[in-house]
């Protein structure tokens, strides 16, 4: 029940913010850079609203193509990374799951050179990237320090 409420809340926040041109009006502040610039964590602020997102390289690690994943407010972002870490520890080959993100992002088991990672599809545009537990842990640490 709680997860459904979070998904609905995130969806409403995302649709509202994006429809108002939030990203164009917002001030983006980079919180962290991870794995040699393959992942970035951002804080977007406009008026009294703050939303967090991360960018990751696409599945081919194309140096010019980053994929943005919008998460939500600070509490939702911390919860996302905590769930991400638990999921990566318990997932099995072939697993697919909802990530609870506002853009309808889906997660799936992905093995990258023997390292368990979560593949993340972005909305309905057919792009995807992947993230491992180390990156998620580092983002979670930075989110907990964030004021």
pLDDT tens digits, 12-49? 445 444 434 444 556 899 999 999 999 999 999 988 89
Is the C-alpha dihedral spanning 74, 78, 79, 84 positive or negative? Answer: positive
Read off the pTM. 0.77
Strand pairing category for 49-57 and 66-72:
antiparallel
Report the residue count for the chain.
Answer: 147
Model pLDDT, residue 15: 42
pLDDT, greater one: 80 or 8: 80
Q: 100 phi and psi, to 5 degrees?
A: 75, 25
């Amino acid at each position: 029940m709680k997860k459904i409420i979070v998904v609905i809340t995130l969806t409403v926040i995302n649709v509202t913010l994006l429809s108002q041109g939030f990203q164009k009006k917002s001030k983006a502040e980079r919180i962290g850079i991870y794995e040699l610039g393959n992942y970035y964590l951002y804080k977007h602020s406009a008026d009294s609203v703050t939303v967090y997102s991360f960018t990751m390289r696409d599945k081919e690690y194309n140096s010019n193509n980053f994929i943005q994943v919008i998460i939500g407010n600070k509490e939702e972002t911390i919860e996302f990374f905590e769930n991400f870490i638990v999921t990566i520890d318990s997932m099995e080959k072939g697993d697919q799951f909802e990530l609870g993100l506002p853009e309808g992002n889906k997660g799936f088991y992905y093995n990258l050179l023997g390292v368990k990672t979560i593949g993340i599809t972005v909305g309905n545009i057919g792009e995807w990237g992947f993230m491992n537990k180390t990156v998620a842990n580092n983002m979670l640490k930075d989110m907990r320090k964030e004021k």
